[in-house]
Every structure is written in C-alpha cells, then in structure tokens.
Structure 1
C-alpha cells in the first residue's frame, strides 16, 4: 500500500461512537457480522462503538463504507489534497442546560427488503465470501423490545420502537454534537472551568439519586473531574465531554467497594416530602445497572441506544432493564405505572437545583495535578528501590557455588540395633565348655556338682 493510499484511508471521517452503534443497528447488523466482515474480533467492534479505539488505515475506510457514511469524494486522492475534517467539538460545553432530549429519528418508509440496506462494496481486509453472503442476504428488521413501545410517545423523546427501526443515516457533515456552540480561543484551563461550572452541580444531584449518599456523590464528581483533567486532551476532543465525565462519576459512585467504607456504608436520611421520599426509596431498591438505565432514559431523556452504549450493554438488554425497572417502580409507587408520569417525575427530580457546595474548579485542577505528582513520585520511588535492591543483590551474590560442610553432631534418640545381644562372661564360658566337651550320645546331661 502506497503512502498516498494510506494517508487517504486514514483521513476518512467516521461518525461518533454512539452514531456508529446506531447506524449498525439501523442496518440490522450484529457485532459478530461486522467483526466477520472487517476481519476483526467482536471485542474490537465493541471498542470502536464505545470510543475506546478507532480503526486505522484501510480498515477505517472499509468500516466507513460498511456503515454507509463514506463517499468516494470524502478521502483525498493524494497527501497534498485537503482532507475532510469532522465538525469541531467544544471542549468545554457539550451538555445542554436542560436534560437532553433527542429529536425523533426519521423512520424509513416501508420498502422492499433489497432497497433497505445498500450492500457495501468489499474493501481490503474484508472477507469476500462473508461480504457476498451479507450482500445477497436481505437484512432482517430488528424486533422492538416488548412493552416499551406501549402508550403515546412523550414530547421530545421518541419511543424505543421508533428508535430501533432502520433509519436513513445523515451525512457526516451534518452531524453536530449536542450542546451549545463551541467558544473559540479558550485555554485548556478556561475550557475545563467552564465544563466544571456547567456540569458539576447537576452531576452531583444525579449521583445522589443513584446512591442516596450526598458525601459519596460529591466525592464521585470530584473524582470524575480529576480523571477528566488528567486526560483533558482526550476529553476535549470527545463529542460529548459531559457524557464522558458522567459515565466516570456513575462508575465510581456505583462501585461495590464503597460498602466496605464506614462513611458510605448506609444511605443518608430520605427527604421529608412524601412523594420524593417514596420515589427515591423505590429507586434505591433497584439493582445498580437498572437504576442507572432508568435514570439515563427516563430522567435525562437519553435515547435507548445511547443509554445502552453508556451502560456498556446491548440495546435489547437495556430495554429489558428499563421494563423491569418500570415494573418494580410501579409496584412500589402505583402512580408511576404510566411511563409518561415516571418520565415527568424523574425529569423534575433530576432538574432540581442541588444544595451541595462544590469546591472551585481551580482547586479541582490543582488536586488532580497534586494527585498525579504523588502517584508519579510513588512509582518512581518504588522503581528506584527495586533497582537498588536488584543492584545490591547482583553485586554481593557469589560468582561460584560454595558447598556447605556441616560439622558433625551427636544424634540422640536412635533405636537399639536389632539382632542377638552381646554375650556376657558367663555365656562365653558356657559356650566354650559346650564346644570343648561334646556329648554325642543320647544321654541326658546331668549337672555335675562342683
């Protein structure tokens, strides 16, 4: 492969990780089918859809063709020609002021099975047999999860049945990150401070709804922003930096190891208001993955594929978690049996103004840098100690084997040697007499008087 071909393949624009997953599900393709077509493993495809990695080279171009987002004019033919670049994402403001509610995806009109999914052209590193088999086989329409599509669609958030139908993929140039427009000319510190001021208060309140512990929620958000500042170049380039911080805070808050800490062993006292207390108590009775799913979908208004991607679960698994959570909440609080009522109650609970006082953004940044320096010094110190011990051992170790001659010692407790005992003088005298005066006859020996 020439250098110009490699540069053109690496400059192909890919959609965001969440959009990659939505496009795959819209094409009715499973992770196994994509992995077989691309010649990679299922774990690699999952890493591409979660944003942990991205394809490179010819695989990047083949992956874009497979998703239907690559056009022949997207990649330049030579290194000198300008490459198409994705829309710039704001490093500081990627979260709307209100709970995010995506517009309903356009639903494809009913058409023959052959016209629904255009067969992608086979590219390099793609198995031709699998590509031909996939192109000749009409895709299966994804079956919506049972029960989730019941009831009218709520405002601003499409029902999962609509979201799981095949949709037309928008051009890459029209995909814009959700959130306010980017503010040019910000330094990394200013961008981080703006992100912290915009998202930290709401995240503290959300983690409190997940855990029921105010102190743990504040600690989780601080930990998430510490990690964000440590990896700020990665977070700044992310299409949804608030989602990155939110996922990190949720993972830390829902860690089971906090039960071993005395300060976080029991939840705080429930609120005094009866409605909020009943809803929060019922929410805390759910398992952690179900609690997180219902909060993201019903509280924040995320789409079902986005909820599944953030919880690192498949879309059907997230749908069934949501169904189970709705059933449990309806049993605990009967007025929440209607999904629209549950969405309204959780949405109003999420948008409440938090009462926790947070440290300043500068203190969070300095704390992250101080922790990084501490861990770096600790690692360097341990490494220096290991090098010193290894060097001392190598310098003082003998160069040849020296056998050890142990001195003799008295051994006690050895049992008496077996066999006949040592003869006494009387025994020796009798033996000599019998040998010297044999009596071959049958007479009986009579003791003679001395």
Structure 2
C-alpha cells in the first residue's frame, strides 16, 4: 500500500499574508477549515503543521486565496467561496471544534488582564467573541485541540484528551501562581500536580463544572498553603531566593503576609479575578475579601512604596512569576501518578478490610461458647491467727523448751503449761 505525498503548503508568513489579503479573520478561516482559531494561529506562527484531512483542506483554501479575486464587492446573493472538503457553514453554526460541554466553560481571568499579563493567566474563554485580526498576540496553547470530524458534527473528546488539554492550558500559569504563594519552586510544581491528580480522580465532576480551571486552581492553592508542609523534612529549610534584589524584596513582602491575604492579593492583582469571584474562591464574603485586599496592598506599599499603584503591582507580580524557570510535568505523567495513587489507596483499603475480617474471624473462633461466671474474690475470716513462718526461737521460747527438758515426767502425769 503506497502513501500519497503530503499536500504542499506555503511558508507560515505567506499563509498569514494570504489570509489578510483576503480580508479574513483567523476565526473565519478556522470555521472554513473546521478547526479552532488557536489552531490556525499556531499554523501561521509555524509552531505546528497541519496533517491529514486538515492539511488538505487548509492547502486547498490557501490555493483559492492565492488566485486573483476581482476587485469590488461581491454581487448580492452570491455564495462565498468555500473549499471542497469543508462546505460553507450554516447561517449561525458554531465552529467545528472539540471543546468541553456547554455547561463547563473555562474562564481564568478577565480579558484585559489576560491580554496584558499572560504569565499568570493561561488565556481567555474560547466561547468569547472572536477578535479581529491583529487585535492581540498569541497568549498560549489552545484550550482544546481540534480533531478531524465530518462537517457539521462535533467529534467528542475522550476524557484523557480533555484532561490533557485542560492541563496544557492551565498548568504553566498555575505553577507560577503557586510560586508566588509559597516561594518554593518544588512545592509549587507539586501543588499543581496534586491538584490535577485530584481532578483526574473526580473528572466526571470536574468536566461538567462551570469553571474547571477555577476548580483546579482552588485545589492547588489549598494544597500549596497547607500548614502541614512545615513538618516535612524537605520543606523545613528555605530555598534560594531570586537573583534580582527587587524580586527578592517583593517575594519577602508576599511571604510575610498572612496566607488568606496573600491568596486574595494574588487572585485579584495577579490573576485578575473580580472581587466577587475572589471572595467566592477564598470562601469569604465580599467585604471581607475587600478588607484583606486593602490590608495586603497597604503592607506591600509600606515596604515597597513604588508598588502602591495596583497596575504597577500587577506588572511586578507577573515579572516575578516569569523570572523563575518553573516547568510542569507532562499530562500523561500526572494522569499516571493519579491512577497509581488511586490504586495504592484502593489496595490499602482492601488490605485493611481483609485484616479486619480476619481479626473478627479469629476472635469468633477463639471466644468461649458458654458463660463462665467469674471467680469471686476471697473473704477475710476473723479469729484465725496468722500463719507463723519458720525461724529462730525467741528467748522466751528457748527458756520454755529448756524447762520442759529439765523436768522428767513419770507415769501418767503430764506437764500442763499455766499462764503466768
């Protein structure tokens, strides 16, 4: 069986030029090819290369865009050109992409904060309105990868693929956020991995959550700020601080804050959540979250007056998080660790149950089958002289014995002792 050669594609810069020359946005081109906007962005930047059916459809569309188009607006009612493999969509269909269910949109932070500081926020919600071309640069990997599917039919993702996409979307930013909370690189990575392991164990619940990224973020924060880490030998000694003096000063100020204040400051000024969302994630009322935020900003401004402006503080938090090389593990490794942990605790529970059943059976086997009344304690009898132990005779007993030996007894007479 012979394999046909791959369809030739122009260079990435030429792909972008052809799209812009045809006055098409990345979202419009993605809807024609049947992929997501992030996938088209990756193709035009050269990070990834299309394969299979998507490559053929993309190459056919680019070839059509390269052909000369008559100037002037198209006559009214004329159909828009569309590639042969992917017919033109219906009047208002969604792009043929694979994404989480409609009840589980992934929102990490407001668009303004994500566009300006992508270090702490993984990206925007993929269900938001598509921006026009040239509005903003790429901020990270796509939320969920697109797969080839028939036109008009959304191919469902397997649980493992959906989990891997969520992990690739959120893990890098979460590791940096956990580093701002703890000041420890290894603990930050471990917190994110443990949170995603818990998410994989409860994936049916997380997959239908309104904000799965927020669910994982809350779990990672809880684990990172746990007070029990101080009893672990590997976390008793501080880690090397950042190399830059200003970064060290900011990190010292953050670590000096109480954990609830530190978490509120990172969520509001670092991630860019709103005050109600920050209060909900920290399990506090909105006034309490506002007071924590004000006190945290005052403490930071007292030691670092140049960070009194929230915008400057937001910028410095992003720079501090991006200054460290913090890498997360691969998604298959996290899923494998979660499954191994689940198997370990399952086997431990089975072993404990078997031990308990064995102990119960042994008790039933060796227990008496009839009632045996207990032996009552002894009673004290009065009037009985205590038992004398053998030993040397006293002087009085010696005199009595000598007297008895000196007197001879003849006949029936008997010596009867008389009291003195």
Q: TM-score range by the shorter chain?
A: 0.5 to 0.7
Partner of 1:219: 190
Give how far 1:387 is off: 1.2
In 1: Cα distance, 2:239 partner to 2:385 partner: 74
1:314 maps to 2:326: no
Match of 1:263, SS state, is helix
Q: Does 1:94 align with 2:106?
A: yes
2:379 is the counterpart of 1:398 = no
Q: By how many angstroms is 1:353 displaced? A: 7.0
Match of 2:302 in 1: 331
Secondary structure of 1:401's counterpart equals coil
1:23-46 deviation digits (Å, cap 9, x = unpaired): xxxxxxxxxxxxxxxxxxxxxxxx
Report what 1:372 is aligned to: 342
In the alignment, the residues of structure 2 paired with residue 339 and residue 415 of structure 1 have an alpha-carbon distance, to the nearest angstrom, of 97
Out of 353, 357, 363, the position equivalent to 1:387 is 357
| Contact 2:143–2:165 under 8 Å retained in 1 | no
Contact 2:279 2:286 in 1 (8 A): yes
Instruction: Name the SS of the counterpart of 1:189 in structure 2.
Output: helix
Cα distance, 1:266 vs structure 2: 3.1
Larger RCO: 1 or 2 (CA < 8 Å, sep 6+): 1
> How far, CA to CA, are the matches of 1:235 and 1:382 in structure 2?
30
Residue in 2 that maps onto 1:33: none
More displaced, 182-191 or 197-206?
Answer: 182-191
- 1:13-412 matches, within 5 Å, as 88-89=101-102, 94-95=106-107, 100-101=109-110, 184=154, 185-350=156-321, 352=322, 355-403=325-373, 405=375
Taking the aligned partners of 1:293 and 1:415, their CA distance within structure 2 comes to 85
Q: For 1:376 and 1:181, locate their aligned partners in 2 and report how far apart those are by CA, in whole Å.
A: 33
Unaligned ranges ≥5, structure 1: 1-86, 105-154, 157-175, 409-413, 418-422, 431-450
Relative to structure 1, is the Cα distance of residues 346 and 407 closer, same or farther in structure 2, using a 3 angstrom cutoff? Answer: closer
* Cα distance in 1, alignment partners of residues 268 and 262 from structure 2: 10
User: Residue deviations 1:322-345, cap 9 Å, x none?
Assistant: 011011101111111222322332
- Residue 445 of structure 1 corresponds to which residue in structure 2? none
Deviations 1:84-132 (A, max 9, x none): xxx94376x7245xxx22689xxxxxxxxxxxxxxxxxxxxxxxxxxxx
Range moving further from structure 2, 245-254 or 355-364 = 355-364
- Structure exhibiting the larger radius of gyration computed from Cα positions: 2
Q: For 2:245 and 2:371, locate their aligned partners in 1 and report how far apart those are by CA, in whole Å.
A: 81
**Aligned-pair distance for 1:402?**
1.7
Distance verdict in 2 for CA 1:395–1:205, change over 3 Å? same
| Contact map agreement 1:211 1:253 (CA 8 A) in 2 | yes
Instruction: Give the whole-Å Cα distance in 2 for the aligned partners of 1:265 and 1:322.
Output: 29
Per-residue deviation, 1:406: 8.9
Check the 8 A contact 1:90/1:181 in 2, yes or no.
no
Rate the CA distance shift 1:354–1:242 in 2: closer, same or farther, 3 A.
farther
Aligned-CA RMSD value: 3.7
Distance 2:221 2:326 in 1: 17
Secondary structure class of the residue paired with 1:312: coil
1:356 offset after TM fit, Å? 2.7
CA distance in 1, matches of 2:186, 2:385: 73
Matches of 1:328 and 1:261, distance apart in 2: 29
Extract unaligned runs of 5+ from structure 2: 1-99, 117-126, 131-141, 147-153, 379-383, 388-396, 401-414
* Separation in structure 2 between the aligned mates of residue 177 and residue 376 of structure 1, nearest angstrom: 42
The CA deviation at 1:197 is 1.1
Q: Aligned partners of 2:251, 2:309: CA distance in 1, in Å?
A: 17
